[in-house]
Amino acid sequence: MKVDSRIVVRFSVEEKEDLMEISSDLNLTLSSYIREKLLGGNLENNYLVFINNRLNQYNEGQVFTLKELLGKHWNYMSKHERLHLLNVIIEEIEEEEMEMDIYKVTKKGKYKFIKSKDSYYINELIEKYMEAD
């Protein structure tokens, strides 16, 4: 017979509110979100749905960073989680599954994205811009 046990985790009021908002954004309960984080669960699909919903708030042609797109979520993700999500997003962009494209990669390796329904058009503009330099 399997017996469940509880672990008590203490958060500040602000942390709890942030985590409740984040879990809600990902369509999870706070308990489910924390369980996934603690047990190394995969929140990839939840984040892709969240990002697609957030993209609806951006205007066509608007440039943004992943940090700006994720908002509060950014502060509660490890560097490894951020990098993994970035790689997943790049794969989705390459497969044209997201209404965004890579706009620029800075010298420090930071990515900037642009909201775009037509990535081919944006790639053409970037190519012409690069040739002009």
What would the mean pLDDT of 119-128 be, rounded to a whole number?
65
| End-to-end alpha carbon distance in the chain | 69
Q: Is residue 4 part of a domain?
A: no
Q: Which residue did the predictor score with more confidence, 84 or 120? A: 84
Cα 60–chain centre separation = 18
What would the mean pLDDT of 30-36 be, rounded to a whole number?
93
Q: Is residue 110 part of a domain?
A: yes
Structural domain of residue 89, as residue ranges? 13-132
Q: Is residue 2 part of a domain?
A: no
Q: Is residue 7 part of a domain?
A: no
Q: Is residue 43 part of a domain?
A: yes
What lies within 8 Å, CB to CB, of 100 at 6+ separation is: 55, 89, 93, 113, 114, 115, 116
* pLDDT tens per residue across span 91-111: 999 888 888 999 999 888 889
In this prediction, residue 122 carries a pLDDT of: 60
Domain count, the chain: 1
Cα 71–chain centre separation = 9
Q: Is the pLDDT of residue 84 over 90?
A: yes
Q: Is residue 17 part of a domain?
A: yes
Q: Is residue 3 part of a domain?
A: no
What would the mean pLDDT of 102-121 be, rounded to a whole number?
83
Here the tokens at position 25 are 């954004």
Here the tokens at position 71 are 């908002």
Beta strands in the chain (DSSP E): 63-65, 100-105, 111-115
In this prediction, residue 133 carries a pLDDT of: 64
Q: Is residue 6 part of a domain?
A: no
Please state which of the ranges 63-67, 100-104, 128-132 shows the lowest mean pLDDT: 128-132
